[in-house]
Amino acid sequence: MYAVSGGDVAGQSQVYGYSINPATRALTPLPKSPYPGSPRGTGEAVAIDPTNRFAYLTNSGTNNVSGFAIDASTGDLIPLPIPTYTAGSGPHGTGISLSGKYLYVNNTFDNTISGYHIDANSGKLTQLSASPFPAGPYPSNDVAFTPDGRFFYVPNSNYGGPGSVSAFSVASQTGLLTKLSGSPFPAGTNEQQVAVDPSGQFLYVSDGGASATNTYGFRIDSSTGNPTPLPGSPFATGEGRGLAIDPKGRFLFTENENTDALSSFLIDQSTGQLLQVGAPYAIAHGGSAGIIVDPTGNFVYVGSFAVPGIYGFRINQTTGALTVIPGSPFPSGLVPVSFAIATLKGTSGLSVEFVQPAKGGNAGTVTMQIVGSGFQSGATVKLTGFGSDIDGSNTTVLDPSVLATSFDLVGVSPGIRDVVVTNRDGTSITAEAAFTIESGGAPDVSVSIIGPNKIRVGFNQSFYASFTNSGSIDSGPRLFWLNLPADDDSSQIPAADSPTGNASSVGFVYAMNVGSIPSSVVGRSQLIPIVLPSLAARSSYTLQFKRKRSKKTLSKMCLAASRKITDLCDEWDRNWASVAALLASKHPASASSTPV
Amino acid sequence: MTDLIGALCGLVRGQLNNFFFFTIAAFNDCFGNDSVHTALDTTNQTAAANALLLQELLDAMSSDQQLGPDTLTSTCQDTDAVDSLDPNDISGPSGFGSLRWVPGGGPLAYGLFFTNDKTAASARDIVISDPLDKATLDINSLILGPISVGDQQVVPPSVPLSALGSFSADIDLRPVQDLIARLTSSLDVSTGVLTWHFESINPATGQPPTDPFLGFLLPGAEGSVTFSIKAKPGALTGTKISQKGTVFFDGKPLDTPVWFNTVDNTAPVSHVGALPTREDTSCFRPQWTGSDSGAGLQNFNVLVSDDGGPFSAWLDGTKASNALFKGEAGHSYGFYSLARDFVGNIQTPKRPPMQ
């Protein structure tokens, strides 16, 4: 994590770097921290590009931007070959477009925004030809993008005059900003920070006016980007400085200078209304405006005017309530005003980006896919957090960046668990609160035929049978029937995986001569049995087949999960369950499908 | 005897959303027969029994009525064979009903189909582009599905494309054609544009063929690409998810039609109707009702508790709104219902039934 201190001696702008303990989330200063920016620069804000390779620091004292490369193994900041780039007057808030191509800087004192192109290889900044863009009045120390990157918002402090928020559209190919009609939009008296929720529906702006006690909420028009005040806005959240939303969009946090407190709010997902969670949490000399929720959404860090001045809290994922992280407050410079977090791969290269599915029921087995880096063959996975650890079985490293494992969750207590991956060499990584065990659950299997409804006479046409498990546990063996017209010239199903063959796919297809159930022609129908040994929770499997017809007639094809036809098929399911279970035991690598 | 008296006196234990309790107060025989739920003999399936079952199953399957698309667990599609058609198409989950309702939690599978005109030259370079709507779709959940060119097929790993970065494969068309179709598929996470790019490659040189008339997709041949993706978590019921691709045949763009689905993320609700606190017969008819916002109500599971015992299944997947129940005199029974909608959303009990 990186922090900018706004009150350091002689205005030397510098960035403080910290490692985040993966278990406790405590902050430890990096050995070479702090990293100098610009002499007398007075640091205001820091931004990190989406690849976590470059960091940029705004210097309001010297009207420029410092650029750094991030050492991927140590986290150290290394000045770029061209260390500073000219900005407008009083650069404060800064942000990088979702594409990572463009950097924007609020120039508070000349009411503009500087836009730069970021060289993807070197991190070098080149100011856009149309930059600076008119903005303000007094664009403040924060920026926010909508999740699709199409719109960009800047709070305007206006120093006691009517506050507002400016809105722009962003040209993804050129980075040009175009002010939206009606912008700036009125809001409060001294707007400080701005945040857009991950769904892109809501925009919140903190008001730092001396007598203000509010956060202004808006609904964003998804097509125009225009913000419209939410009913009930402004919300009484306390005098607003820092403002942050968790990555899942459930909680909003405000940092209040007058009351020296951090407040937590639930966001109503449909209305955007804010509901306070418990009492505010006291922070000595709080309200420095620095605030950030970590990428996992489990922790929030805030700055204060005291030294040490960075407080850390664990976020209860159900209620939004906060618990102080042991060791908090952590060492800092004077008045940390801006934070940014880079996710580095680490020296072992072992990392977890996300798991799928992120939740599963305790009524069965759940097969999980873990996406990250550095996974080694022989890696093990377990769920930890409370109660007994739950070991994953049939763990398979599909690729150094992906592994799959299955958890038997029957009877396990519901709740949030950490996912721990341990490599064969003993290195380990923990994805905190990455998986939620739900009560109950069931597979929910559906089928669909994907294909055109017109085919050309005499030509082969591909179709796909799609099998989906939307449920919260794996399906177990399932029998399906594909019913094709008997008067097709030909119908092709991919070569059947035989019980002794190379079962490399996630499902088996038994088109012919397996057990006692052949493909059969009855009347106008050709019936093809399809067995899937298992369909993982919240996953799908797609099977290609082809048809050719010479008759210019309408024909019907059907796909059915046998259990829904009649009780008769339930009986077949049971027969095939035993067959498929036997086959799955012989081909464990193919016994599960892959979560998506 | 005390228990019997207690049961006969039967107190209402309260109606709680979809739960209801009452007590049978008198003895009476039940002559109704509309709650048939025959258990199947599952012991020792023999080959002969299997053969019989197979014949029954085939009989059932051969009937269109049995396979009507009344639930997402069976689906049918009409296909028309014609001489000429729009060469590019898109298809997705058939869903339920005219709005193609789909559940919110599961992946949605799509296919884009392209055909080279039978009178055209071989296509050398084909790009399929699908701008995904990041407002409604979870880009990180996108997984590529099978990809086909002519008679060849490639199956990418079942891993989110955002984790893979991109997917590449060489599809060797020899000996039918002395060419390789080089595929690169990628997802621009900032814009949401998903792209498949097929190039014709000379296997001997590793470069595009110098003969301008050589191309990997022969006249009349077809190809297709597939993928699955989930709706954004928390997508509201009624959210429209639309897909429309563009196929560039040697640079010439041709749009596919639009395929849409509608998300149903709302579980249905139901409750058991009030019953008398005492019944004068051992045979009585509980009633239940429900509603759904979205795809619509499909059926109910109805559970029963005998004398305060644990609830167990009485009726599974019934479409009826009432049924005849035969109890025993002196027993107290409680019922509750769980509704299921046409995309598989199942009602969650608000809290365990009161005992």
Nearest CB partner across the interface for A544, out of B66, B153, B344 = B153
What is the Cα–Cα distance from B193 to B139, expressed in whole angstroms? Answer: 10
Residues of A numbered 337-356 whose beta carbons fall under 8 angstroms of chain B's beta carbons: which are they?
Answer: 353-354, 356
Cα–Cα distance list, B82 to A528, B182, B196, B254, B256 (Å): 25, 31, 28, 20, 18
Give the residue, A560 or A228, on which the prediction is more confident. Answer: A228
Q: Is A109 on the interface with B (CB under 8 A)?
A: no
Q: Is A578's pLDDT higher than 60?
A: no
The per-residue b/e assignment along A369-388, b for 16 or more CB within 10 angstroms, e otherwise, is: bbbbbbbbeebbbbbebeee
pLDDT tens column, B10-68:
221 222 223 344 434 333 334 332 222 222 222 233 334 444 444 444 444 444 333 33
Kindly indicate whether the ipTM for this predicted assembly is greater than 0.85, answering yes or no.
no
* Chain B residues lying within 8 Å of A451, measured CB to CB: 77, 79, 91, 111, 113
Report the residue of chain A nearest B39, measured CA to CA. A567
Please answer whether residues A95 and A111 qualify as being in contact, where contact means their C-beta atoms are separated by less than 8 angstroms: no
For residue A596, pLDDT beyond 90 = no
Distance between CA atoms of residues B116 and B198, nearest Å = 13
Please determine, for residue B264, whether its predicted confidence score (pLDDT) is greater than 60.
yes
Residues of B in contact with A462 (CB under 8 A): 111, 113, 148, 222-224
Residue A494: the pLDDT is: 54
d(CA B302, CA B288): 9
Per-residue confidence band for A504, with pLDDT thresholds at 50, 70 and 90: very low
**pLDDT for position A562:** 58
* A154 beta partners: A166
Q: Buried b vs exposed e over A548-557: b needs ≥16 C-beta within 10 Å?
A: bbeeeeebeb
Residue in chain B lying closest to A560 (CA): B74
Q: Looking up tokens 């019907």, which residue turns up?
A: A556
Q: Which residue, A257, A242, A249, A329, is CA-closest to A292?
A: A242
Please report, to the nearest 10 degrees, the dihedral formed by the alpha carbons of residues B315, B316, B320, B322 taken in order.
Answer: 20
Q: Could you tell me if B334 lies within 8 Å of chain A, comparing CB atoms?
A: no
How close is the nearest chain B Cα to the Cα of A132, in Å?
A: 23
Q: What pLDDT, on the 0 to 100 scale, is given for residue B58?
A: 47
Q: Which residue of B has its CA nearest to A445?
A: B73
Q: Give A509's strand partners.
A: none
* Alpha carbon distance, N-terminus to C-terminus of chain B: 21
Radius of gyration, CA atoms only, chain B: 29
| Interface probe, candidates A468, A534, A575, chain B, greatest B C-beta count within 10 A | A468
Closest-CA distance of chain A to residue B191, Å: 7
Burial of B288 (0-12, 13-18, 19+ CB in 10 A): buried
Residue type at B116 in one-letter notation: N
Q: Are the C-beta atoms of A512 and A518 separated by less than 8 Å?
A: yes
Which pair of structure tokens corresponds to residue A414? 């519901």
What are A434-455's pLDDT values in tens digits?
Answer: 899 998 888 888 888 899 888 8
Q: Helix, strand, coil shares of chain B as percentages rounded to 5?
A: 10, 45, 50
CB contacts of A551 in chain B (<8 Å) are 81
Chain A contact for B202, CB < 8 A?
no
Contacts of B177 (CB under 8 A, 6+ apart): B214, B216, B218
Size of interface A-B (CB pairs under 8 A): 281
Nearest chain A CA: its distance from B331 CA (Å) = 29
A538 with B106: Cβ contact below 8 A: yes
State the Cα–Cα distance between residues A259 and A207, nearest whole angstrom.
Answer: 14
What is residue A190's predicted lDDT score, i.e. its pLDDT? 74
What residues of chain A, 113 to 172, have a C-beta less than 8 Å from chain B? 147-149, 172
In angstroms, the CA A455 to CA B111 distance is 15
Contacts of A594 in chain B (CB under 8 A): 143, 158-159
Residue B82 touches partner A, C-beta closer than 8 Å: yes
How many other C-beta atoms are found inside a 10 Å radius of the C-beta of residue B125?
17
Q: Which residues pair with A95 in a beta bridge?
A: A104
Query: Over the stretch A13-61, which tens digit does the pLDDT of each residue have?
Result: 889 999 887 667 789 999 999 998 887 878 889 999 988 899 999 998 8
Question: Which amino acid, A241?
Answer: R
Distance CA A573, CA A351 (A): 41
- Output the pLDDT for position B227: 95
Residues in A closer than 8 angstroms to B95, CB to CB, are: 448
Say yes or no: A32 contacts chain B, CB-CB below 8 A: no
Two tokens, residue B248: 């560039």
Interatomic CA distance for residues A501 and A513, integer angstroms: 14
Q: A513 pLDDT exceeds 80?
A: no
C-alpha A524/C-alpha B166 separation (Å) is 44
Residue A542 contacts B where some CB pair is shorter than 8 Å: yes
* Other Cβ atoms closer than 10 A to A505: 18
Helix, strand, coil percent content, chain A, rounded in steps of 5: 5, 50, 45
User: Quick check: A96 contacting B, CB < 8 Å?
Assistant: no
List the end-to-end C-alpha distance of chain A, in Å, as a whole number: 31
Cα distance between residue B184 and residue B125, in whole Å:
12
Confidence label for B142 from pLDDT (cuts 50, 70 and 90): very high
For A254, list phi and psi in degrees, rounded to 5.
-125, 145
User: CB–CB of B226 and A558 under 8 A?
Assistant: no
Token duo for residue A428: 């380990």
Give the range among A288-302, A344-358, B15-29 with minimum mean pLDDT.
B15-29
Q: Per-residue pLDDT for A112 more than 70?
A: yes
Is cis: bond before A247, omega within 30 of 0?
no
Residue B178 is classified by DSSP as: S
Give the type of residue at A303. Answer: G
> What is the rounded (10 degree) CA torsion for B231, A391, A542, A564?
-90
With an 8 Å Cβ cutoff, is B84 touching chain A?
yes
Tokens for A357?
């599915």
The residues, ordered by sequence, that sit 6+ positions from B83 with a Cβ below 8 Å of its Cβ are A456, A457, A552
Is residue B245 within 8 A of residue A452, CB to CB? The reply is no
Residue at B302: amino acid letter: V
Range A295-299 average pLDDT: 82
- Residue B210 to chain A, least CA–CA distance (Å): 29
Q: Which residues contact A252 (CB under 8 A, 6 or more apart)?
A: A195, A204, A215, A243, A244, A245, A246, A264, A265, A267, A274
Selected residues 429-458 of chain A with any CB under 8 Å from a CB in chain B? 442, 444-457
Per-residue pLDDT of A233-247, as tens digits, reads 988 887 667 889 998
* Sequence-ordered strand ranges (E) for B189-284: 193-201, 222-231, 240-243, 246-249, 252-255, 259-264, 269-272, 278-279, 283-284
Q: How many angstroms separate the CA atoms of B254 and B251, rounded?
A: 10
Which residues lie closer than 8 Å to A297 by C-beta, 6 or more apart? A246, A247, A248, A315, A317, A433
* Chain A residues within 8 A of B36 when measuring between CB atoms: none
Q: Which residue has the tokens 């399932």?
A: A478
- The SS3 assignment for A322 reads strand
SS3 of A511-579:
CCCECCECCEEECCEEEEEEEECCCCCCEEEEEEEEEECCCCCEEEEEEEEHHHCCHHHHHHHHHHHHH
Answer whether A539 sits within 8 Å of B107, measured CB to CB: yes
- Count of alpha carbons within 13 Å of A418, Cβ hemisphere only? 18
Contacts of B247 (CB under 8 A, 6+ apart): B87, B88, B112, B114, B126, B127, B128, B129, B253, B254, B256
Q: And the tokens for A99?
A: 């594409």
Q: pLDDT category, A180, cuts 50, 70, 90?
A: very high
Range from A347-356, A452-461, A505-514, B152-161 carrying the lowest mean pLDDT = A505-514
Q: Is B163 exposed, middle or buried (0-12, 13-18, 19+ CB in 10 A)?
A: buried
Going by C-alpha positions, the residue among A483, A464, A478 that lies closest to residue A527 is A483
B residues 263..282 contacting A (CB < 8 A): none
- Is it the case that residue B265 has pLDDT exceeding 70? yes
Q: Among B92, B146, B148, B144, which residue's Cα sits nearest to residue B115?
A: B148
